[in-house]
Amino acid sequence: MNYYPERDGDMPEVKTNVVTTSELVQNHLVGAKVVRALNNVDWVRLFTRARPEGVADRSALPIAGNDAEAKAAVAEYIESIGYEAVDFGGLSDSWRSAPGTPVYVTPYVGPIPPEADTMSKSEKREWFLLNPGTLVAASDVRAAVARAERSDRMFGEVINLPGAAI
């Protein structure tokens, strides 16, 4: 449900605020209970940032959906894999965790080293794979989704994501 025009083609209904990608999926899957989750963290940090419940450095992940029961099931799953779930609304708000928004990937990866511009492709790959990431607390997730701004520029290019060079 992450829209990248160079990969997915032009989707004017998404770019012009007619519908979110999550709503588009919901419209195609009639009768399904769509919950947007796990779309904003990369696969390395999804593993390395997982922590047991109750520890101080447990990160949070945002979820959005229209069905309270479905969101509760997804939140329970997210908790079981080592994260706190932060409900930030319905599918109409799900764009707030889309590519280019403040909660998308970068906060979990943490600071990119200054020397990244001079690293070789293999050095970038090694850094990306070995970097454990950083804490993104529930309060940080809430603040990030609250300050998200929807625009036609929010749909970034895959190449600009941390780790894209691998």
Q: Backbone dihedral region of 91: left (phi > 0), alpha (psi from -120 to 50 degrees) or beta?
A: alpha
pTM of the model: 0.88
Q: What are phi and psi of 142, to 5 degrees?
A: -60, -45
Can you give the pLDDT at residue 5? 83
30 CB burial (10 A radius; 0-12, 13-18, 19+): exposed
Distance CA 12, CA 72 (A): 32
The pLDDT assigned to 166 comes to 45
Tens-place pLDDT, residues 92-140: 999 999 988 999 999 999 888 888 889 888 888 899 899 999 999 999 9
Q: Which of 53, 21, 49, 64 is nearest to 105 (CA)?
A: 49
Domains of the chain by residue range: 35-150
Give rounded-to-5 percent helix, strand, coil for the chain: 45, 10, 50
User: Which residues of the chain are modeled with pLDDT < 70?
Assistant: 152-166
Residue 100 contacts residue 156 (beta carbons within 8 Å): yes
